[in-house]
Structure 1
Amino acid sequence: MKISMVAAVSENGVIGCEGKIPWSLPVDLARFRVLTFNHHILMGRATYESIGRPLPGRVNLVLSRRLDYLASGCLVVPSFDDAIRLAQFGHESELMIIGGARVYEQGLLFARQIYLTRVHAEFEG
């Protein structure tokens, strides 16, 4: 199974600010949907909470060390290894890591590809 990351970054290295994406790029959102649709996606708890719901058309995996954490419509996993095993068990061809910062850091150890959008502006974050 291939493991990939999907991210957007500003010219000054910002990927988010206070749990939100500080820009609106409809073309990038459409690309994100195409890349991740019908795949397992892995996100951190804070990223899930900022989205507020599972993303449709995908198997949503939420990484959380809290064993009692519930994310409606998602599968909560305590470790990266558990997320990988779950995606493999689901016969996934490409697990997509979608953030946040700590999950991206961990994902660098596993990812073979990064789908990166460069945002040609600077933002606080």
Structure 2
Amino acid sequence: MILSLIVAADENNGIGINGNQPAFISADLKRFKSITQGNTIVMGRKTFEALPKGALPNRRNIVLTRQHDFRADHCEVIHSPGEIDNICQPGEKVFVIGGGEIYRHFLTRAGHIYQTLIHHTFSEIDTWFPEISEEEWTVEGREGPFRDVKSGYSFSYIDWVRI
């Protein structure tokens, strides 16, 4: 299994406000789709429930939850982070897509982080991405800044690789 994290975060690593992303940036959503399509995505229950149409198409959807009676159409459900090893194959590309607690569970196992950095600080943030330590991670690529016409936010793509 090749494990990566993919995240959109503000300048303070903020990723959520009341169960939703702080901003929806069209180019970021397209990038997310192009990177994850045809691969496996892992998310927490709250992230799954925030998806407007349920399971994301053209991807294997895995939901991690403590709720043993939780069911989700077109998703596999696991109840501990370690179960991922039992259901994913060697070489399978797996992308952790949130939320905060799920990112913390998998950060130490990931080899790559695909970050969209929103050049803004949202005051209402209640969920954060873990700190990316430059002692453990190095920037492999950086693009931007770009400006989202609809939201007005400036953002950059930063690809991190584990040292």
Q: Which runs of 4+ in 1 moved over 4 A?
A: none
Q: Which residue of 2 aligns with 1:34?
A: 34
* Rg comparison, structure with higher value: 2
Q: C-alpha displacement at 1:79, in angstroms?
A: 1.3
Greater fraction of residues in strand: 2
Q: Is the 8 A contact 1:43 1:99 kept in 2?
A: yes
Q: C-alpha displacement at 1:92, in angstroms?
A: 5.3
Q: Which residue of 1 aligns with 2:2?
A: 2
Q: Which residue of 2 aligns with 1:121?
A: 120
Q: TM-score, normalised by structure 2?
A: 0.72
Q: Which residue of 2 aligns with 1:60?
A: 61
Q: CA RMSD in A?
A: 1.2
How far, CA to CA, are the matches of 1:84 and 1:32 in structure 2?
Answer: 23
Residue pairs, 1:1-125, within 5 angstroms: 1-52=1-52, 53-88=54-89, 93-123=92-122, 124-125=124-125
Identity of aligned residues (%): 37
How many residues of Structure 1 are paired with residues of Structure 2 in the alignment? 123
Counterpart of 1:122, as a letter, is T
Counterpart of 1:33, as a letter, is K
Q: Is the 8 A contact 1:39 1:92 kept in 2?
A: no
Q: Is the 8 A contact 1:19 1:47 kept in 2?
A: yes
How far, CA to CA, are the matches of 1:84 and 1:26 in structure 2?
Answer: 33
Task: Quickly say closer, same or farther: Cα 1:87–1:81, change in 2 above 3 A.
Answer: same
Q: Secondary structure at the match of 1:108?
A: helix
Greater fraction of residues in helix: 1
Counterpart of 2:7, as a letter, is A
Is there any run of 5+ residues in structure 1 with no aligned partner, and where? none
Structure showing greater relative contact order (alpha-carbon pairs closer than 8 Å, 6 or more residues apart): 1
Cα offsets for 1:24-58 (capped at 9, x unmatched)? 21000000001100111000011001114000000
Q: Secondary structure at the match of 1:109?
A: helix
